[in-house]
Copies of this chain bind each other. A is one copy, B any other.
Amino acid sequence: MKQEVKSVAGKEIEVVQNIFDENDRIALETKETLENLGVYVVNIMGAPGAGKTSSIISMIRNLRGEKVYVIEGDIESDIDTVKLKELGIDTIQINTKGACHLDAPIIQNSLQELTIDKPGILFIENIGNLVCPAEFQIGEHIKMLICSAAEGSDKPYKYPLAFEKADVILLTKCDLKEFVDFDDEFFLKGIRGLNKSVPVFEVNAKNGQGFQQVATWLKNRIS
């Protein structure tokens, strides 16, 4: 989405083309810088409580031999960063203090705090929001959409942009499917209407189900 028109109190504020262009320019710069260091960047998007941090931890467990860095985006709190650091994962925290998404300048600035000493994967956990993050490039090679089975099977229809832009989708908390009458066919039909070829992995961070396949898919992308 190159242009955004926000309606606030009846007045339209046009966030003009060149501001989005500027964001994209910085995102490309970040991507190139990290590419030169051998770092592959994954922008992790999803609703609050979709299981983004748990998915990152489960992927790392299955990415043996790969160096992994994490940037944690949250409006407030460092709960997830503490959790990741306890597991020995190089993590830095961004608190947006109200802002509903990460953008390219925020990521570019935060990289100054991250010591990149060898090639690997950088997971950037975006703000928990199924709407706004999909509009902003931040320097990623791919966008990974995390969607919990507990959210229900109608999400592609209601939040199409995130599903349209995703390069890979993880359907998390699959053990809860039976309790929420999750409709696999309806969910996949919604995705395919927006994004013909995106791979969809069913996962469960509680028992690790499906994350070996995700890690293999990721490794194939990088190599």
Task: Give residues in A with beta carbon < 8 Å to B.
Answer: 1, 4, 6-11, 13, 15, 19-23, 25-26, 47-49, 74-77, 79, 98-100, 103-106, 127-132, 135, 148, 150-152, 154-155, 157-161, 173, 175-176, 179-180
Closest residue of chain B to A4 (Cβ to Cβ) is B98
Residues of B within 8 A of A11 (CB): 19, 22
As for how many copies of this chain the complex holds, the number is 2
| Complex partner residue of A157 from B7, B76, B176, CB under 8 angstroms | B76
By secondary structure, the A interface counts as mixed
Q: Report whether A128 and B158 are in contact in the complex, using a CB–CB cutoff of 8 Å.
A: yes
Q: Report whether B8 and A103 are in contact in the complex, using a CB–CB cutoff of 8 Å.
A: yes
Closest residue of chain B to A130 (Cβ to Cβ) is B48
User: Apart from A9-B26, A77-B154, what are 5 other A-B pairs with CB-CB below 8 Å?
Assistant: A9-B21, A11-B19, A11-B22, A13-B13, A75-B161
| Complex partner residue of A49 from B1, B127, B135, B150, CB under 8 angstroms | B150
| Complex partner residue of A77 from B4, B10, B127, B158, CB under 8 angstroms | B158
Q: Report whether B132 and A100 are in contact in the complex, using a CB–CB cutoff of 8 Å.
A: yes
Chain B proximity of A54: nearest CB distance (Å): 9
